[in-house]
A = this chain, B = another copy of it.
Amino acid sequence: MTSAGRLEDPSPPSITDPAAESPAPRARRLPATTDVSTAAMQTRRQRLRDDGYAIDHLAGSSAPPEPETLAGNIEGFIGYARVPVGIAGPVTIRGAHARGDFFVPIATTEGTLVASFQHAFNVMNRCGGVAALCSEEQVGRAPCFEFADVHEAGAFARWFPTQRDGLAQVVAGTSRFCRLLGLHTSVIGNTVYTRLEFSTGDAAGQNMVTLATQAACQWLLTQMPVQPRSWLVESVLSGDKRASALAFRDTRGRNASAEVVLPAKVIARYWRADVDAMTRSWNQALIGSAQTGAVGLQGNVANALAGLFIACGQDVACIAEAVVCVTRCERTPAGDLYASVTLPNLIVGTVGGGTHLPTAQECLGLLDCVGTGKAAKLAEIVAVTTLAGELSIIGAMASGAFAAAHAAGGRKGRSAQDPAVP
């Protein structure tokens, strides 16, 4: 996002006319997704296995890992919480990194959620799929240093940027993947708040940058002309696990967008609404959102984030920051509907953290996002899924079905109806 950040430079995707209706995706939809019977579940599992996906751990037919393999992930371990996983898809993505048809795993207990993604994926496929772009990545840490007074602080703030080469070398020594991208400072009275921005490969990278920053600070202390009175390796300024607007200025994690153009007739068919009803409803919602003082403009991306993060072994606490995003829903000059979601604060990884756990590996496998070289791809898929959620909400608003959807399927013991249009 900044000139200092690492700009992704993918080979250009072939761009087709997104507004044209296209044929159904090559991958087949899972059968009977709203049938809650054991038999229907078995059919879905078989279909996935037939398509070559490994789901034995999700299905419970493989034993969970030994406790010893959880070293570094947890203490006081006594067992596993089991969270139901549903599959929506396929969705056709025309991303810079994610290209093709994808089945998306969602871990949730909120009824109608998976069905709503399925419905929106169907719409998206009908519109030629979803364009997606992970445009940048970086993760920061923010040490602060207290000095005797504001003038000493100012002197440090002027000196600090001159140490970039030395700092870069120290950082590179802490990890094969961690690289220093940028330095920033601000003087707050006698204290200098700094930020160090890093690239972290395909890891979410929070621990990696903590270690790198610790090393950087220790080295700085040996170089500083005047020692600080006190310092913190992380002053909370990084934005870790809280919603802030700062990621709109400097990407935190990955910055990913997804977009789709919906022709008027598709809207009529899938939501019995029109473009004006969609944009009017969304305008009303964003004026409502503005009154909350919440950062960003969005309907409900938290559900998609939670569903994917739990399934894929991501740091679930990062939902708190990842919800900061912008959803757009606008009438095009041609009278169609343009919709996009941009997430500038997406902390996701395909290595490290909880990604090695068997069910996470299987969910990442469904997305072809296992291991190195896949984090930007995962970010694009997350953006696409949040866009599906937003379209579902806007469509429900426009068709007046918001509460009705909850009534039909959102409570225990009732089953959701398949959305009317296949």
Contacts and interface: CB of A to CB of B under 8 A. Distances in A.
A187 B285 contact: no
A407 B214 contact: yes
Interface string A286-298: 1111111111111
Contacts of A360: 81
Interface centre among A188, A207, A245 (most CB of B within 10 A): A188
A359 B86 contact: no
Interface residues of A, number: 194
Given A34-B75, A191-B287, A311-B81, A320 B323 contact: yes
A402 interface: yes
Interface string A62-97: 001011101111111111111111111000000010
Interface in A168-213: 182-191, 193, 207, 210-211, 213
A174 to B, nearest CB: 10
A158 interface: yes
Contact of A237 (B77, B258, B289, B342): B289
A132 interface: yes
B187 A257 contact: yes
Interface stretch (A20-28, A113-121, A264-272): A113-121
Contacts of A57: 79, 82
Contacts of A211: 403, 406-407
A182 B324 CA distance: 25
A4 B132 CA distance: 30
Interface string A86-129: 11100000001000000001111111111100100000000000
Main secondary structure of the interface of A (DSSP, over half): mixed
How many identical chains are in the complex? 4
Interface in A31-72: 33-34, 36-38, 40-41, 44-45, 48, 55, 57-60, 64, 66-68, 70-72
Contacts of A352: 411-412
A336 interface: no
B45 A78 contact: yes
B74 A55 contact: no
A381 interface: no
A227 interface: no
Contacts of A302: 241-242, 317-320
A149 B1 contact: no
Given A78-B41, A109-B357, A303-B241, A232 B67 contact: no
Given A150-B259, A235-B284, A237-B289, 11 more contacts: A8-B154, A71-B413, A72-B111, A132-B150, A133-B153, A144-B288, A189-B328, A189-B341, A190-B340, A237-B292, A283-B328
18 contacts: A12-B155, A36-B70, A72-B409, A72-B413, A73-B108, A81-B360, A83-B310, A110-B317, A131-B150, A149-B259, A186-B255, A188-B328, A214-B404, A233-B403, A234-B403, A241-B323, A245-B293, A356-B412
> What are the 8 closest A-B residue pairs judged by CB atoms, nearest first?
A245-B293, A109-B354, A189-B340, A214-B403, A58-B79, A235-B288, A302-B317, A76-B86
